[in-house]
Amino acid sequence: MATSSDRINGRSWGVLSVLCGAIFLEGIDVAMLNVALPSIRDDLGLSTGALSGLVSAYVLGYGGFMLLGGRAADLLGRRRMFLGWMVVFLVFSGLGGLATEGWMLLVARFLTGVAAAFLAPAGLALITGLFPEGPQRTKALGFYAGTGAGGYSLGLVAGGVLASAGWRWVFFAPVIMAAVILVAALVLLRDTEERTARTGSFDIAGALTITGAMLLLAYAVVRLEHGADGLPTTLSVAAAGLVLLALFVAIERRAIDPLVRLAVLRSAALARTNVAALLFLGAFAGFQFLVTLYLQEIRGWSPLQTGLAMLVVGLDTVLAPTLTPWLVGRFGNARVLFVGLGTAGLSYLLFLPVAPDWTYAAMLPSFVLLGLAFALVYGPLTMAATAELDEREHGLAGGLLYTAIQFGTALGISGATAVTVAAGGVGTTLDGIRAGLVLPVAAALLAVVVMAFGLRDRAGTPPTPEPVSVGV
């Protein structure tokens, strides 16, 4: 039977709902835009390059500023960062809906990505600060991860519905959601105590160099879709990013109050968590992109039909807050992650023999397994990201995790695009899609190998089972 200290009280449930709403908003915002891209191109007359730039702009803003966002949450206050950047997210999502030129959308998407880069680590740090380590935090992170992952899958359906009414609603709908979340946050987060003392000052030199490095590296990743033709430029941009990254490390070694405490990066468990996150989300992003091409370009399905077909992936929204916390409490993070990553690999493997006349019944096992994989992986990743760090650095931990997630997403889409074009030519072909599907399989299997090393650590041994209750 659960003790009172294991229960989440009514006010804490309210705060958790606000924070879950924010991460859901981020996921659904990205997914809805992906479905609406063809409608945007037709209305504004954008080229294919400009269209992919709308995705790349968000990646640049998100990936470039994530580490700075995590540190800002630790130093300036999680509540302050959460509320302030929610306003920025709301404003630029609305401006995107009012855009009449491609460049306006590019600017809006970049700044929306920057806002998400400050929002995400602040939200994660607020959860770990509010809920004590143990059953409460495990349960809270399960709900948080479930709603975040559910945003990606449910956003496909929502995007299809909204795009049919007009692509601008894909931008206006998040404005309405953000406004509701902001009002609720102003009320419920007002008296939430941040239990971590904020000391220190900003490392300006470190902030400038790491932001520049992340921007350049993110740009190099999104340029991979240009293939061999753009390789010299891509390599030059990547090299410049690595130079800035090396300069950042040199600055941090000498800084009195560094932006990133380099000792954090020596944690093998933290490294495994971030590498696994990068590979898992990269595999998923590439798979989702290729399945969308298959259903819409090869089979001729509408965006709404495509979204409904993949709706079953959203079963993680139910499983993540219910099944996953119990499994983590029983078997430990590493074992749950290992099984979840293996399940993702099996999901992608089953889709490899895709045929031009496949029935939905043939696709369904892959989608169901992918939903189960998300339930087993996304939550434990957020738990493992902060497990070995002091609460004062949980914003930084969130920044590292979401940086890995965003780079993985960009790498998965760019890699899948490059392989598909190389194998199938300019147009979308089934041979090209089959070739691209090898990448998600390989990435998921590599993630399994990475996580296997954690099974021997104490992080992989099951803790003493603790009762988990959903009582208020």
For residue 159, give the nearest of 367, 311, 45 by alpha carbon. Answer: 311
Least confident of 259-263, 287-291, 383-387, 391-395: 391-395
Mean pLDDT of 114-122: 89
Q: How sure is the predictor about 405, in pLDDT bands with cuts at 50, 70 and 90?
A: confident
3-state DSSP: the chain helix, strand, coil percent, rounded to 5? 85, 0, 15
| H or E segment and range at residue 288 | helix 268-293
Give percent of the chain above pLDDT 70. Answer: 87
User: Minimum mean pLDDT among 211-220, 274-283, 390-399: which range?
Assistant: 390-399
User: What is the tens place of the pLDDT at every residue in 245-258?
Assistant: 899 889 888 887 77
Among residues 183, 194, 170, which one has the least CA distance to residue 97?
170
pLDDT tens readout for residues 54-113: 877 887 788 778 778 887 887 888 888 999 999 999 999 999 999 988 889 989 999 998
Q: How confident is the model at residue 471 (pLDDT cuts 50, 70, 90)?
A: very low
Mean pLDDT, range 251-271, rounded to an integer? 79
pLDDT at 285 over 50: yes
Segment 453-469 shows an average pLDDT of: 50
Q: How many CA atoms lie within 13 A of 208 on its CB side?
A: 3
Which DSSP state fits 426?
S
Fold observed for domain 260-458: Growth Hormone; Chain: A; (1.20.1250)
- Give domain limits for the chain: 11-191, 204-258, 260-458
One fold for both 11-191 and 260-458? Answer: yes
Provide the pLDDT for residue 89: 94
What average pLDDT does the structure give for the chain?
Answer: 81
- Over residues 444-462, the mean pLDDT reads 75
Q: What is the pLDDT of residues 346-380, one digit of tens each?
A: 999 999 999 998 999 999 999 999 989 988 998 78
pLDDT over 50 at 461, yes or no: no
- Residue 462 in this model has a pLDDT that exceeds 50: no
Percentage of residues in the chain having pLDDT higher than 90: 24
CA distances from 424 to 224, 407, 417, 434, 435 (A): 16, 25, 10, 9, 9
CATH superfamily label, 11-191: MFS general substrate transporter like domains (1.20.1250.20)
Residue 239 has pLDDT above 90, yes or no: yes
186-211, pLDDT tens digit by residue?
988 864 444 444 555 667 788 788 87
CA max distance for the chain? 63
- Rounded mean pLDDT, 172-199: 76
Q: Residue 175: is its pLDDT beyond 90?
A: yes
Confidence band (pLDDT; 50, 70, 90) for 137? Answer: confident
Classify residue 199 by its DSSP letter.
Answer: -
The whole-number pLDDT of residue 444 equals 95
Across residues 408-427, what is the average pLDDT? Answer: 76
50: confidence class by pLDDT, cuts 50, 70, 90:
low
Average of per-residue pLDDT across 309-326: 81
Q: pLDDT: is 343 or 20 the higher one?
A: 343
| pLDDT for the residue 440 | 95
Burial 415-440 (b: 16+ CB within 10 A, else e): bbbbbbbeebeeebbeebbbbbbbbb
